[in-house]
Amino acid sequence: MNGLKVAIVGATGAVGTELIKLLEDSQIPISCLRLIASSRSARREVKFRGTSSLVDVIEDASDAAFDIAFFSAGGATSLKWAPQFAAKGALVIDNSNAFRMDSDVPLVVPQVNPKMLASRPNRGIVANPNCSTIQFVRALRPLAQSFSIRQIVLTTYQAASGGGLRGINELLTDAKSVLDGTGEPTSERFPVSLAFNVVPQVGELSDDGVSLEERKLVQESRKILGLPNLKLTATCVRVPVINGHSEAIYIELTEFIPLNNVRELLARELGIQLYEEAGCCAYPTPRLLDNHGHVHIGRIRTNPDDSRGLWMWVVANNLQVGAALNAVQIGELAYRNRLMGAQ
Ligand SMILES: NC(=O)c1ccc[n+]([C@@H]2O[C@H](COP(=O)([O-])OP(=O)(O)OC[C@H]3O[C@@H](n4cnc5c(N)ncnc54)[C@H](OP(=O)(O)O)[C@@H]3O)[C@@H](O)[C@H]2O)c1
């Protein structure tokens, strides 16, 4: 197989921009990269490996055949166009929420369920999970495989970049106007103004009081881990951080497990960085992360009132680990499996 023809739909967005950067150094041999966005960005120049390309609108690229098409332009665009790209032979790696829970679409985190990429899915679509799900399942996998879990209670602290470039811009503009004392706080991308605030809602709230993000986290984690009965409940919170999601995870095991056993298991896991020293700053924080491809885990401790209860603090770059890097790693694994057989 020679160089691959690759498309990125949503190439000018927060995730698309990271995809372009990560593909520069990826193991996927690329002979042609087509960059696609909305008409707002048509003809914009974007560089890949030192060469400029012009951004296309999707209608101009829809007749072309690609080997891989990364979709990162929201659910509506994926629903309309991903099946058409797949029908022309592309393996679609979709970042949106459009297909994740479809039973005939694998939902893949390569470090957790790589076997899902052993053969090509009939629909030609592989789904990339939600950002808060990916770091959670990567941290949980070694523990879920070794120990019996009673239940998990999880709180997320999610950055503005989870709301895309508009989310980042809104936080920055909003913070400036609060500091300057000028203008009203803005709240277009988030339910209420995010600057200097904490918002306990990510995505729409349904009638039972659960938010869309909380529902996605639970359903997707069960599917990826292959644990349909996993007892997991979450509160998802937006915080005024530009990039990097944090999660406080409480795992109630069925028996006491010494902390050293837990640490050893996590330390052996590829792509996990442990913070084990005691004292100040011996834990990861989203703004000061250094290794952006890793899941960072600190403050592993036992509940003093229940020795079967285990806490940990998990931080990751949501635009990379939680989106673009996971998508590229799906592409790399699919390529190692030579795009998984017959089309
Ligand atoms: N941000 C995260 O942490 C994260 C994590 C996991 C998954 N995701 C998912 O990834 C997707 C992209 O998120 P993002 O954060 O990168 O959003 P974003 O910054 O708002 O970028 C959206 C991208 O989609 C393009 N687009 C919008 N409408 C389009 C259309 N009709 N045809 C073609 N392109 C279109 C935009 O082009 P213009 O520049 O021309 O507007 C832009 O390139 C979403 O589905 C999101 O749910 C995001």
**Count of domains for the chain:** 2
pLDDT at 103: 97
Does ligand 1 come within 6 angstroms of the Cβ of 159?
A: no
Q: Are residues 211 and 238 in the same domain?
A: yes
Q: Catalytic residue positions?
A: 131, 245
Q: Are residues 146 and 77 in the same domain?
A: no
HEC-encoded secondary structure of the chain: CCCEEEEEECCCCHHHHHHHHHHHCCCCCEEEEEEEECHHHCCCEEEECCEEEECEEHHHHCCCCCCEEEECCCHHHHHHHHHHHHHCCCEEEECCCCCCCCCCCCECCCCCCHHHHCCCCCCCEEECCCHHHHHHHHHHHHHHHHCCEEEEEEEEEECHHHHHHHHHHHHHHHHHHHHHCCCCCCCCCCCCCCCCCCECCCCCECCCCCEHHHHHHHHHHHHHHCCCCCCEEEEEEECCCCCCEEEEEEEEECCCCCHHHHHHHHHHCCCEEECCCCCCCCCCCHHHCCCCCCEEEEEEEEECCEEEEEEEEEEECCCHHHHHHHHHHHHHHHHHCHHHCCC
Does ligand 1 come within 6 angstroms of the Cβ of 316?
A: no
Residue ID of nearest Cα to ligand 1 atom 47: 96
Residue 156 pLDDT > 80, yes or no?
Answer: yes
Q: Are residues 98 and 173 in the same domain?
A: no
pLDDT at 258: 96
Instruction: Average the pLDDT over 188-212 and give the result.
Output: 97
Q: Are residues 233 and 300 in the same domain?
A: yes
Q: What percent of the chain has pLDDT over 90?
A: 94
Q: Are residues 96 and 156 in the same domain?
A: no
Q: Are residues 244 and 120 in the same domain?
A: no
Q: Are residues 149 and 184 in the same domain?
A: yes
The band of 343, judged by pLDDT with boundaries at 50, 70 and 90, is low
Atom of ligand 1 nearest to the CA of 164: 15
The more confident residue out of 151 and 183 is 151
Instruction: Average the pLDDT over 22-50 and give the result.
Output: 96
Q: Are residues 194 and 304 in the same domain?
A: yes
Residue ID of nearest Cα to ligand 1 atom 39: 12
Residue ID of nearest Cα to ligand 1 atom 2: 162
Instruction: Average the pLDDT over 165-169 and give the result.
Output: 98
Q: Are residues 27 and 41 in the same domain?
A: yes
Instruction: Average the pLDDT over 337-343 and give the result.
Output: 78
pLDDT at 281: 63
CATH number at residue 174: 3.30.360.10
Q: Are residues 270 and 330 in the same domain?
A: no
Q: How far is the CA of 204 from the centre of ligand 1 (A)?
A: 18
Q: How far is the CA of 9 from the centre of ligand 1 (A)?
A: 8
Mean pLDDT of the chain: 96
Q: How far is the CA of 128 from the centre of ligand 1 (A)?
A: 14
CATH number at residue 27: 3.40.50.720
Instruction: For residue 93, give its domain range.
Output: 4-129+323-340
Q: What percent of the chain has pLDDT over 70?
A: 98
pLDDT in tens, 297-331: 999 999 999 999 999 999 999 999 999 999 999 99
